């Protein structure tokens, strides 16, 4: 199971774009990359998932280079409500037993 490494914390200001990078050097061919957001005392919430290149949805973009050893979650124009912990996970989404290991996550603090 690929291990992930993320910055422990990041600070930003309202309206800025925030990019959080995750390293996963041992990612396997079948592994997808998934990002979750967690607010205090709540369960993690799915943000975005990708396999390669770029994925975009209504809340974020995910950039994955060709070697897939890292990925970057991009949050456009953050607001105070985006203050949360963001987790990057890698694993094979079709197999039970994968995408189970949470790394330390990145604690994002958005300031006014």
Partner 1 sequence: GAVVSQHPSRVICKSGTSVKIECRSLDFQATTMFWYRQFPKQSLMLMATSNEGSKATYEQGVEKDKFLINHASLTLSTLTVTSAHPEDSSFYICSAKGLAGGEQYFGPGTRLTVT
Binding site for partner 1 (CB under 8 A): 34, 36, 41-46, 49, 87, 93-97, 99-105
Q: 34: which DSSP letter?
A: E
Q: How many CB atoms lie within 10 A of CB 68?
A: 21
Q: Cβ closer to partner 1: 29 or 41? A: 41
Q: What minimum distance in Å lies between the beta carbon of 79 and partner 1?
A: 22
Q: What minimum distance in Å lies between the beta carbon of 67 and partner 1?
A: 24
Q: What minimum distance in Å lies between the beta carbon of 83 and partner 1?
A: 15
Q: Cβ closer to partner 1: 63 or 104? A: 104
Q: Cβ closer to partner 1: 16 or 92? A: 92
Sheet holding 61-64, edge to edge: 18-23, 70-75, 61-64, 53-56
Sheet holding 84-91, edge to edge: 9-13, 106-111, 84-91, 32-38, 45-50
Backbone angles phi, psi at 60, to 5 degrees: -160, 170
Q: Cβ closer to partner 1: 97 or 112? A: 97
């Amino acid at each position: 199971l690929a291990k992930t490494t993320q910055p422990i914390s990041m600070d930003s200001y309202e309206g800025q774009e925030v990019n959080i990078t995750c390293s996963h050097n041992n990612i396997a061919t079948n592994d997808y990359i998934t990002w979750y957001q967690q607010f205090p005392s709540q369960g993690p919430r799915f943000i975005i998932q990708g396999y390669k290149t770029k994925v975009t949805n209504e809340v974020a973009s995910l950039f994955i280079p060709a070697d897939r050893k890292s990925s970057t979650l991009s949050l456009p124009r953050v607001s105070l409500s985006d203050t949360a912990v963001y987790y990057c996970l890698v694993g094979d989404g079709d197999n039970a037993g994968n995408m189970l290991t949470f790394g330390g996550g990145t604690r994002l603090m958005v300031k006014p």
